[in-house]
Structure 1
Amino acid sequence: MSADIIIHNARILTMDDAHPRAEAIALTGNRIMAVGSDDEILAQAGPATRIVDANGATVLPGFNEAHMHIFGGSVALGELSLFGVKGFDALSKAVRDYAAANLHLPLLVAQTADYTILSETERVTRHHLDRIIADRPFMMVAPDRHTAWANTIALEKAGILQGRDVGIGNEIVMGEDGLANGELRESNAMRPVASMSVTGGREGLGVGTGGDPVHVTPEERAGDIAVLKKGLAYCASLGITSFQNMDGNLYQLEMLDEIEKTEGMPVRVRMPYHMKNFMPLSDLEEKAAAWKARFDTDKLRCNFVKLFMDGVTEGETAVFVDDYAHKPGWQGEPLFSGAAFNAVATEANRLGLPVAVHAIGDGAVRMVLDGYEAAIKANGKRDMRNRIEHIEVVHPDDIPRFAETGTVASMQPTHPPGSAGLPLEPYLTYIGRERWPYAFAWKTLVDAGAKIVFATDWPVSPLPPLSCIGDALTRKPWADDMPDHRLTLHETLAAYTRTSAWVEYMEDRKGVLKPGYYADVVVLSGDVEATAPEAIATLSPVLTICDGRVTFDARGGR
């Protein structure tokens, strides 16, 4: 049997410890046929074989983005990006230009508005935004998507200018005049404004509420599917062949399922069931387990549970063991009690569902580890591959507990302040210098035996994996006496390929380039090992293959 596709003259990093390097690879159908030398593999060519000359560039297993939000990211591709915008004048120009070009939008939405977009000392209010645009509803969202700022007309139309109870861990910040000052903390506070957008805020339901839209017209659904298709194609263009979508609602699952069944998705998708603190424990068996059975292919799977334990540090909604450094007496408020989360973790693991929990502060991380220990005590030691997402700060006492409980550290190299264009403040002041050594502590956790996966949390951070890998390798300590938390290039690549497949229980068929494994491959524009870390982001995918299908091709070929 001849190969369908052969890639040769390559520097192949297989991520297979038994055979780590090769020159060429042959693909047949949706599987890898052979990996070896140029001569060995080119001998497998036939008259119809497509032969791709990699020109000495790196070939890798397709990237596996372990934490992202496909619907929100897809929508954001058409919204205003304020990434890198600084100062009132620059903000004003960007917003007014966007408004003039989008007269049809019921709500103007901007993304990646940094907490210090005005300055390191002045926080945004509705009054600032009213000076920019007062006659059309406008909302801008922080990079972490846990805080937003809206102008007065947006607050009025959303019915929250007078404030509103939005539940534990959420806040409509009020001004001295007794009216909302424009800052909205967490999804319950943001949703009344977001629901006025052209998408009705549907892209935020999976991550914000875990629920589904009450009513969607056929036209709206078709529009949402079209947006998702653009996002999926964007993923393929970046060399991504798998992603783990941290939204968790049926609406998204059914749209992705329709795309896969009609034309085929260009990536593999894993999604969770999103468990909120108001949901009954019985939902795990009645819904989460049912979704697992319904969506159970290697292209679309729903086989874990996602929760939020806290919010974000800059919004003062993250949970810490000790007080915020700038706010004595405040440690944050968890979204689940310890007992409630222990029950969720125990029941989910009993049903064979791994758990992934957003935990930013060391207090939230500790509560999650406590829950995983409770699950082990109740159910016995199992291969659950439970995860903690983000882990921006970990208490030193809890570092060894990751290996002890088998908990995966799911972290984002694009998130440390000072990296990827992010400012140092107010983050460093809020956590305090005593916590700095234990912030974004990738190497410390890995050295202590933890498994680690990397991702961007797109659209919280830019999605390109090569840019994220560059950020991971160029991160600088915040002070001379701080530890260097960088991993090696190969450890970083493993966190984006092999280990991300392992955490999905798919290490036997993807994540490495090995005969019999899925034909999920990315060809880069250059040799990543010969490229300085500072220049890795200048590399790009030139060919992406998922399930044996070419999903992105920047240069063509025979």
Structure 2
Amino acid sequence: MTQADIVIRNAQILTMDERAPTAQSLALLGNKIAAVGRHEDMADLIGPKTRVIDADGATVLPGFVESHLHLFSGAYGRRFLQMSEIADLEAAKTALRQFAADNPDEGLLVAQGTTYELLAGHGKDPRQLIDEMVRDRPVLVLSFDFHTGWANSAALEQAELSRGRDVGAGSEVVVGPDGMATGELREKNAIGPVRALRTSGGREMLGNYGLEPETPPTPEERAQDIAVLKEGLAFCAAQGITSIHNMDGNRYLLELLKEIEDAGELTVRVEVPFHLTREKPLSSLDEASRLAADFNSDKLKSGRVKIFCDGVLESGTGVLVDEYANQPGHRGEPIFEAAHFNKAAIDIDARGLQISVHAIGDGAVRIVLDGVQAAQEANGKRDARHRIEHLEVVHPEDLPRFRELGVIASMQPLHVPGVMGLPLEPAVSVIGEARLPFAYAWRDVIETGADYAFSSDWPVVRVEPLVGISAALTREPFHPGVPDQRVPLMQVLEGFTWRGAFAGHMDDRTGRICTGMLADLVILGGDIAATDPKEIPGLGPVMTICDGQITFEATQGPGA
């Protein structure tokens, strides 16, 4: 009998296969799962060259599918000042001044991960507060969701934004009563002119807006970009991730990843979309079709179109059906108007491509659902698996439409107000009491029978799936009268494994542990079902296997 390359035994295997949901041992041969079952079932598969891994009673899962992240900006962003743990202005001042001293030649100092509360409610404009931290050099502080930035006076002056200017629909340079920019920059077109002040790097948002590099990168720049991607892939593999769905991209990014794949160094499966922005004509979708044809392997593929329909609720750029609770008369301005989105959805669907839309507010969610319905009426219904990304607020009338239209709800546990220290404000006040029961309503969505997936949105929040799993299990109602929207452990695990694979049209090959599937696995450092949900992040992982290859192994890995 053929000998296995790897046998894992003495494990609590959660297969995600309803036909045989648990097992004790499994064997890998090449890049496939060769057998799953009891300890004794593997005896004949063990030979002198077989690596036998004793899981010591720990959980083994299908490799985590991270179905919503930004790979390049996540990896590159680790070079910036991280402010997620900074809660007051004095600590921000100390950190920013030290960062400035450590980077004396950088044209723009970038900090990221801050809350909306840090620079609010102090009786001064954000630019004035940042001026008090660093006055003589341009500074850009980015919110944790990357949809809002705050700049100091030096940055605004150099970017020619001191008195504001029209930056297009869906974006805004906020101007105060005195006619001067306050420093608050809402959405990409407002933040972009300040970002352009960088004198090193500058490609940290590579592919985020779907544009190719303005000038061809030099061989040195290309090598640097590949190094950044490898760092990001290795970091993801260390979290037990074996597949990622990137939420931005272009041909250049795919070519870099293809070079990594050809060198045998693509340690995580990657899916990259074509990014359709408001400014691009629908004829640009020809490139989306070309990308789908040119990149279509089990390790690297395209085939999806990413669209932004709105911004975020905290800055007032999310789109709601009814007015904002804290801004009477304001509903938000969609980035894609309904008629425009319908045309795009019909065209994308007709090409056999998948649609993936950032839609935060219930108004944007409705625009997307209407667009998918228009596409089905025009093209006929198929197994398209179109997706709504984030789904922070849903109108109750639209809840059943997810199942009816086959739209996947892609949701992020670490986005919920109050989860793991995330502030309740301004989200709760923006959403308002009438809508709060329909905000982050995971259980309500799932109970309709809709397909769903859980993910992170790194670098907006931490990428570690175990942290997301813990957050999903421990979230509390964030306001009196709001229903408990937690879901059971197995449903959460499904959302991070086979349901993510389903969202990426890979569920026939990955996402479950059963014979014949691709060998994507993660071994944890304990029994997840027996662990206090708050302690789940401490379970590891201790080993990640992608396509039959060990892509991460902790120093104190599982026994052999």
Shorter-chain TM-score tier? over 0.9
Superposed, 1:179-328 pairs within 5 Å as: 179-198=180-199, 200-207=201-208, 209-215=209-215, 216-284=217-285, 286-328=286-328
Q: TM-score, with normalisation over the residues of structure 1?
A: 0.97
**Separation in 2, partners of 1:398, 1:171:** 29
User: For residues 177 and 313 of structure 2, what CA distance do their matches in structure 1 show?
Assistant: 23
Write the mapping of 1:121-520 to structure 2, written as runs, cut at 5 A: 125-198=126-199, 200-207=201-208, 209-215=209-215, 216-284=217-285, 286-520=286-520
1: CA distance between counterparts of 2:461 and 2:124? 21
**How many angstroms apart in 2 are the aligned matches of 1:121 and 1:419?**
25
Partner of 1:36: 37
Give 3-state SS (helix, strand or coil) of 1:203's partner: coil
Alpha-carbon separation, structure 2, partners of 1:313 and 1:516 = 44
The verdict on how the C-alpha distance between 1:229 and 1:123 changes in structure 2, with shifts beyond 3 A counting, is farther
CA distance in 2, matches of 1:362, 1:123: 33
User: What percentage of aligned pairs have identical amino acids?
Assistant: 50
Q: 1:70, CA displacement in angstroms? A: 0.2
TM-score (norm 2): 0.97
For each residue in 1:180-217, what CA deviation from the matched residue of structure 2 results, as whole angstroms up to 9, or x when unmatched?
A: 2111110111111112235553232522x321111122
Q: Is 1:116–1:123's contact at 8 Å kept on the other side of the alignment?
A: no
Give the match for residue 75 of structure 1.
76
Q: How many Å separate the matches in 1 of 2:433 and 2:411?
A: 21
Asked whether the 8 Å contact 1:86–1:118 carries over to 2, the reply is: no
Contact 2:108 2:140 in 1 (8 A): yes
Deviation at 1:535, TM superposition (A): 1.1
The Cα of 1:480 is off from its aligned counterpart by 4.0
Structure 1 letter corresponding to 2:376: I
Tell me the alpha carbon deviations over residues 294-344 of structure 1, each in whole angstroms, 9 at most, x when there is no partner.
011011110111100000001100000000011111000001111110111
SS in 2 for 1:440: coil
Deviation (angstroms), 1:27:
0.6
Q: Does the CA contact (< 8 Å) of 1:437 and 1:483 recur in 2? A: yes
Aligned-partner Cα distance in 2 for 1:88–1:505: 46
- Pairing 1:30-69 to 2, within 5 Å after superposition: 30-69=31-70
Change (3 A) 1:28 1:198: farther
Which residue in 2 is equivalent to 1:86?
87
Q: Deviations over 1:225-274 (max 9, x none)?
A: 11111111000000000000000212211111111112421100011111
Output the CA distance in 2 between the equivalents of 1:331 and 1:123.
27
- For the residue of structure 2 that corresponds to 1:51, the secondary structure is strand
Q: Which residue pairs with 2:549 in the alignment?
A: 549
Rounded Cα–Cα distance in structure 2 between residues aligned with 1:83 and 1:122: 23
Q: CA deviation at 1:516?
A: 0.8
Q: CA deviation at 1:107?
A: 1.7
Do the aligned residues in 1 keep the contact of 2:72 with 2:206 (CA within 8 Å)?
A: no
Is the contact made by 2:107 and 2:200 (CA closer than 8 Å) also made in structure 1? no
Instruction: Name which of structure 1's ranges 219-228 and 10-19 shifts more when overlaid on structure 2.
Output: 219-228
CA distance in 1, matches of 2:133, 2:242: 41
Question: Which whole-Å CA distance do the structure 2 matches of 1:482 and 1:125 have between them?
Answer: 33
What SS does the aligned partner of 2:545 have?
Answer: strand
Query: Following TM superposition, by how much is the alpha carbon of 1:121 offset from its aligned partner in structure 2, in angstroms?
Result: 6.6
Q: Does 1:106 align with 2:81?
A: no
- For residue 469 of structure 1, what is the amino acid of its counterpart? I
| Aligned AA (1:418) | G
Note the alpha carbon deviations across 1:28-82, whole angstroms, 9 max, x for none.
Answer: 1111111111121243111011111111100000000010000110111121111
**3-state SS of 1:349 partner:** helix
Q: For the Cα contact (< 8 Å) 1:195–1:202, is it kept in 2?
A: no
SS in 1 for 2:255: helix
Per-residue Cα deviation, 1:442-475 (whole angstroms, up to 9, x for no partner): 0001101111100010000111000000000001
Structure 2 SS opposite 1:456: coil
Amino acid of the residue matched to residue 498 of structure 1? W
**Tell me, which stretches of 5 or more residues in structure 1 are unaligned?**
none
Q: Which moved more, 1:173-182 or 1:444-453?
A: 173-182
> Does structure 2 retain, via aligned residues, the 8 Å contact 1:127–1:152?
yes
**CA apart distance, 1:119:** 5.6
Distance 1:273 1:375 in 2: 19
In terms of mean alpha carbon deviation, does 513-522 or 103-112 score higher?
Answer: 103-112
In 2, the alpha carbon distance for the partners of 1:165 and 1:377 equals 37
Can you give the 5+ residue segments of structure 2 that lack an aligned partner in the other structure? none
Farther off after superposition, 159-168 or 186-195: 159-168
Assess if the C-alpha contact under 8 Å between 2:173 and 2:190 holds in 1: yes
Q: Distance in 1 between matches of 2:248 and 2:202?
A: 13
Q: Distance in 2 between matches of 1:369 and 1:454?
A: 20
Q: Which residue of 1 aligns with 2:7?
A: 6
The amino acid of 2:37's aligned partner reads G
Per the TM alignment, residue 175 of structure 1 is displaced from its structure 2 partner at its CA by 2.5
On the 8 A contact 1:116/1:122 being kept in 2, the answer is no
Maintained 8 Å contact 2:73/2:206: no
Structure 2 match to 1:523: 523
1:339-370 deviations in Å (ceiling 9; x for gaps): 11011111111110010100000000001000
Q: Which moved more, 1:515-524 or 1:156-165?
A: 156-165
CA distance in 2, matches of 1:123, 1:547: 54
What amino acid is aligned across from residue 252 of structure 1 in structure 2? L
Q: Cα RMSD between the aligned structures? A: 1.4
Equivalent residue, structure 2, for 1:22 = 23
Q: Distance in 1 between matches of 2:433 and 2:81?
A: 35
SS at match of 2:154: helix
Q: Which moved more, 1:225-234 or 1:248-257?
A: 248-257
